[in-house]
Structures are given as C-alpha cells and as structure tokens.
Amino acid sequence: MLYVSDDLKPPWIILQLFRHVIIKIPGLVTWPVAPSKDIQEWCFTDPRVLEAERTNPLNFDSKPRLGSAYCLAMQAPEWMESRLKAVSCPFLIVHGDADVVTDPAVSRTLYEVSCSADKTLQMVEGAKHADCFWRKETYALVENWIAERV
C-alpha cells in the first residue's frame, strides 16, 4: 500500500504548500528535489541485509521528482482508499508488524473491507518494512498460498 506512516510525513504546513502552491508551478514537477528521508534503517532488522542494501549499486539514491512525490503523497492514497471495497480477486497480504514506514493498519483495513471471498492476511512478527522480502518463511508462505490455488 502507498500509505506512509504519519511519522514519516512532512509537517502539515509543508503538505499544504505542496498541495496548493508548489505543484502548480509549471515545470517544477520534473525537478528531482522532493524532500525525502533515509528510511533504510527502518526497513531491515538484519544488519547484513541493511549493509547489502546500502552498498547495492542498483538502488535508487536520488531525490524523487516533485510530481512523483505529489502523486504518491496526495493522489494515490485517496484513489486507493476509495477502491478498497471493490477488491474482489484472491489476494495475499504479507506485512511486517514492526513496519514504521507503511502502517500495518492499512493492510488490515484492506483485508477487512475488501469483498474478496479468498483473502489472506499474514502479519510477520518482528518484521520491518522490507524484511519480508528477505525471510525464507515469507517465500514458503507465498509458495504455499499459490500452490493451494493452482
């Protein structure tokens, strides 16, 4: 989900300037100057994985464009929230219960309000934002979920 934890959002006044002023200046949306925080330490519990991420030359380490930040912060959450109830396909949500980047409550809300008859929510104990991608038990969980449906 694209909902960012309140702890990571900029102050209210910055959001209002962004929403009503900055985004309306022609050409400014293409500038790679959006404010962003280094969140890698909030994403991994294993220090070896954190170091691998920090030294990975394929990782994006530039500032996001203002237009991209605007879409992620202002448009996507409202658009997604208005459509959660319409999710009817089978789905599996895997979310770390120690995630401070994306609030786990959003995953719980999707699970609760969607109209899908086949839905699974798996909260991974102690997992931060990106830990689920590195844990073997996560791969087994996804593999089993797919195998039960094929």
The domain segmentation of the chain, as residue ranges, is 6-147
Helix (H, G, I), strand (E, B) or coil at 122: strand
The single-letter DSSP state of residue 102 is S
Work out the percent of the chain whose per-residue pLDDT is above 70. Answer: 92
State the Rg of the chain over Cα. Answer: 18
Q: How confident is the model at residue 35 (pLDDT cuts 50, 70, 90)?
A: low
Q: pTM for this one?
A: 0.73
What is the distance of C-alpha 66 from the center of its chain?
18
Task: Give CA–CA dist 7/53, Å, rounded.
Answer: 22
Task: Give CA–CA dist 96/74, Å, rounded.
Answer: 24
Q: Which CATH number fits domain 6-147: 3.40.50.1820, 3.40.50.2000, 3.50.50.60, 3.40.190.10?
A: 3.40.50.1820
pLDDT (0 to 100) of residue 92: 95
Q: Does residue 77 carry a pLDDT above 50?
A: yes
Helix (H, G, I), strand (E, B) or coil at 127: coil
C-alpha distances out from residue 67 to 15, 29, 33, 82, 137, Å = 13, 4, 10, 21, 37
pLDDT (0 to 100) of residue 98: 92
- Please check whether residue 35 is in contact with residue 10, taking contact to mean a CB–CB distance below 8 angstroms: yes
